[in-house]
Structure 1
Amino acid sequence: MSVVSTPHLNFRGDAREALTFYQSVFGGQLILVSNEEAHSAELPAEAQQVKFGQVIGENGFQIMGYDVPRSVAYDQGEKSVFVSVRGDSADEIAELWKKLIPGSTIIEQLAPSFFSPAYGMLKDKFGVVWVLDVAVPYSDS
């Protein structure tokens, strides 16, 4: 049996823009289904909002997202979730970092850390907090 965990991000009206941006950063296939297409628009103004959205990268990256309807209470919170992206090399992580930076607030600059050759944290223009680092083998010694 195989299990995959995929972050599912909630937005308030900008899921399409966010998922399109994430596809531009990570590549892969973008799938967007609107409320209208799913026959589930509660309000006419929400017809083109995202009912189901997903980015699936050839490199293994996956993320999902949708627009929370106005009829449902929603508060993103300050740091309600971190999306962690781990790569094999500092160059790979640095390239993704550069693409996520526009409109972002840097929380921790991308730099070597005691546990990784490259680690950084930022809050993107959609309010999502990203942690990028190079995965290294764990050693308990």
Structure 2
Amino acid sequence: MTLQINPFILVDGTASEAIAFYQEALGATLLFKQTVGEGPHNPDSPMTEQEKARIAHSVLLVGETKFFVADQELNQPLTHGNGITICITVDTTEEAQQLYDSLKAGGTVDIELAPAYFSPAFGMVTDKFGVCFQVFTKRPQ
């Protein structure tokens, strides 16, 4: 059996902005993007141009990890929480600082990036889309 787990970020109408943000902040590569309007839809339920422009699915690649970003369906409420975070592991404190600074732009600092007993540089931010990221630096071998 092959098992793959991918983070899936749902936002409320700002997926295009989130994709651009993660491309800049994380150096993500956009592998796939489909709008709601590009997918199948019921002709008996017409959509506005704004609804058609919402992102139904996208796939981004950061390092060796694929993650997904989409707009939440209009008929399902979106709730924010920090029960799930995305942990980014890097080799150097310089890389950690760059990612941390990029992700905190427009967001909030949960834990300042600083040395910790388990990492030369560790911090947590909630980005402007409500997604919580941990930035973790490996200990030198």
Give the TM bin, normalised by the shorter chain.
0.7 to 0.9
Specify the alignment match of 1:8 in structure 2.
Answer: 8
Work out the number of aligned pairs and report it.
135
Identity among equivalent pairs (%): 27
Higher helix fraction (1 or 2): 2
Match among 72, 75, 79 for residue 71 of structure 1 = 75
Specify the alignment match of 1:33 in structure 2.
Answer: 34
Per the TM alignment, residue 2 of structure 1 is displaced from its structure 2 partner at its CA by 5.2
1:49 is aligned to 2:50: no
Gaps (5+ residues) in structure 1? none
CA displacement 1:29-84 (0-9 Å, x = unmatched): 21321001113487323110110112113x2243211111111233123x132111
CA contact (8 A) 1:16 1:32 kept: no
CA distance in 1, matches of 2:41, 2:94: 43
CA contact (8 A) 1:26 1:61 kept: no
Per the TM alignment, residue 10 of structure 1 is displaced from its structure 2 partner at its CA by 1.1
Specify the alignment match of 1:90 in structure 2.
Answer: 93
- Structure 1 vs Structure 2 CA RMSD: 2.0
Per the TM alignment, residue 20 of structure 1 is displaced from its structure 2 partner at its CA by 1.4
Taking structure 1 as the reference length, what is the TM-score of the superposition?
A: 0.84
CA contact (8 A) 1:32 1:52 kept: yes
Letter in 2 for 1:90: T
Per the TM alignment, residue 95 of structure 1 is displaced from its structure 2 partner at its CA by 1.3
CA contact (8 A) 1:106 1:122 kept: yes
Per the TM alignment, residue 88 of structure 1 is displaced from its structure 2 partner at its CA by 1.4
CA distance in 2, matches of 1:80, 1:16: 24
CA distance in 2, matches of 1:61, 1:25: 15
CA distance in 2, matches of 1:21, 1:47: 21
Specify the alignment match of 1:22 in structure 2.
Answer: 22
Taking structure 2 as the reference length, what is the TM-score of the superposition?
A: 0.84
Secondary structure, aligned partner of 2:37: coil
Taking structure 1 as reference, are residues 40 and 121 closer, same or farther at Cα in structure 2, changes over 3 Å only? farther
